[in-house]
Amino acid sequence: MKNLMTLIFLITLSFNLSAQANCDCKPELDFVYEQMQTTYSFKDQIKGDQKEVFESLYQKLSTQMAEPMSLPDCFWKLNQLMSLVNDKHAEVFEKKPDFEAEKIYDSAFVKAYRATDAFLNFPKATIDLDVLAAELKLKAASDIEGIYNIGSVMKMGVYRIDDTDSLVGVILQSQLGTWALGQVFAYLKETQQVAHYDIAFYNQVYKHLTFAKAQYFANGMLFSNVIKENAGENHSLINGEEKEGYVLSNLTDDVQYVWLNSFNRRTMATKRDALITQIENELKAPNLIIDLRNNGGGADKISLPILKALKKKTEHIYVITNFYTGSNAEMTTVRLKQLFNATQLGQRTYGAISYGSNYGKTFHSSSGLFSFYPTDMRQRQFIEYEEIGVAPDIALKADTDWIEQTLNYIKTQKQ
């Protein structure tokens, strides 16, 4: 594999895989530098010695950005500065192009797009894809290198750059005409946390650069829809199409269950009220399983009334989480453990818990190349979990149903 990788035109961490239009990155760095300092997370963390570290890195990156560079290289360096602050909500991303998502299925739109410089100069690996695919098929499901399904319409090959801690993911198959074989989908770099990667990747629809910080690679999954083709059964995710959220149900004579799939303040108020009524009238079992898998968070005005309703209604609470349990759902996990002595089962949570955005504002650089999404809220009591996540008391195996595993664990507690 090493000899094959040396064929790739890639310079250290630049990920400069093909001819691309260069950008003037120094103004973009200055934009991010100024925007970062408006956030609560920056004000909390970057002071004293850390202020000197921040200024030193800014000056170092400024020197590196004195000459034009490729957009992906620029983007990676912007996120190097961002990485000094533990705040998974704040982000910088390439500005999204202005077209409707449905256009990618319009043959006329696709034909016109494939003639543009944006498509023709899109980062692309100069490598034999058939040879690459054959090599990657031999990789174990537990290896970060391998072949991944991106949803149901694309396949990506992820491979390591020689013996470094950096990897690239390129398109091997695509049913979307906006993507060509060999185009780059993702750039990955190992972090100091085991099995965690910083990932710069292109949005599947709009193909603009976004960033996933400290992404946890487990059970063959890079993201919830980017999964190794040889990963096997995976019960860490919950199938939302088969299960309705906010419905209290009976699993056994002494165990009831509810999946809280979201705490969205705009869409969940009615379901919250209905669930509270159910809790008051129907919660009788001594054991309650609260499933928070795939819950990306929301607002206290949805989650806290549910917790209030649970007081004095059940003896034991078991909360199931996965890596896609985030933000307010992570806060709810901690509160359940603190207020109810709940047992957490499953997988560590996402680690975007202490900071958030109340107003949802986005700011754009003067060039229009990059956007900055700041955080304007803080809850310091959760800072120890930021970028770390909330670790489960009991880890669950991916190849067996997580509700069944939880039921079996509950049985052991009665013995």
Compute the distance between CA of residue 99 and CA of residue 83 in angstroms, rounded to an integer: 31
Contacts of 253 (CB under 8 A, 6+ apart): 285
pLDDT of residue 359: 75
User: Is residue 5 pLDDT above 50, yes or no?
Assistant: no
Confirm if 221 and 212 have CB atoms less than 8 A apart: no
Confirm if 287 and 316 have CB atoms less than 8 A apart: yes
What percent of the chain is predicted at pLDDT more than 90?
A: 87
Sketch out the chain's domains with CATH numbers.
19-85+356-378 (no CATH), 101-228 (no CATH), 247-352+387-413 (3.90.226.10)
- pLDDT confidence tier of residue 13, bands split at 50, 70 and 90: very low
- pLDDT confidence tier of residue 129, bands split at 50, 70 and 90: very high
Q: What is the mean pLDDT of residues 269-273?
A: 97
Q: What is the mean pLDDT of residues 357-380?
A: 90
Compute the distance between CA of residue 182 and CA of residue 374 in angstroms, rounded to an integer: 34
DSSP label at 218?
B
> What distances in angstroms separate CA 59 from CA 25, 92, 106, one per listed residue?
13, 19, 46
User: Is residue 21 pLDDT above 80, yes or no?
Assistant: no
Which helix (H) or strand (E) segment is 118 a member of? helix 117-120
pLDDT of residue 17: 38
- pLDDT confidence tier of residue 242, bands split at 50, 70 and 90: confident
Chain-centroid distance, C-alpha 71: 22
Confirm if 184 and 170 have CB atoms less than 8 A apart: yes
CA angle 375, 380, 385 (to 5 degrees): 90
- Main-chain dihedrals φ then ψ at residue 263, nearest 5 degrees: -120, 35
- pLDDT confidence tier of residue 23, bands split at 50, 70 and 90: confident
User: Is residue 134 pLDDT above 70, yes or no?
Assistant: yes
pLDDT of residue 315: 85
pTM over 0.75: yes
Both tokens assigned to 17? 């895989």
- pLDDT confidence tier of residue 19, bands split at 50, 70 and 90: very low
Closest by CA to 125, choosing from 18, 205, 43, 257, is 18
Name which residue leads in pLDDT, 5 or 191: 191
- pLDDT confidence tier of residue 239, bands split at 50, 70 and 90: confident
pLDDT tens, residue by residue, 244-258:
899 999 999 999 999
- Main-chain dihedrals φ then ψ at residue 168, nearest 5 degrees: -130, 145
pLDDT tens, residue by residue, 162-212:
888 999 999 999 999 999 999 999 999 999 999 999 999 999 999 999 999
Which helix (H) or strand (E) segment is 363 a member of? strand 363-364
pLDDT of residue 112: 97
User: Is residue 11 pLDDT above 70, yes or no?
Assistant: no
Compute how many other C-beta atoms are within 10 angstroms of the C-beta atom of residue 210: 17
DSSP secondary structure of 250-315: EEETTEEEEE---B-TTTSHHHHHHHHHHHHHH--SSEEEEE-TT---B-HHHHHHHHHHHTTT-S
pLDDT of residue 414: 75
pLDDT of residue 1: 36
pLDDT of residue 251: 97
DSSP label at 329?
H
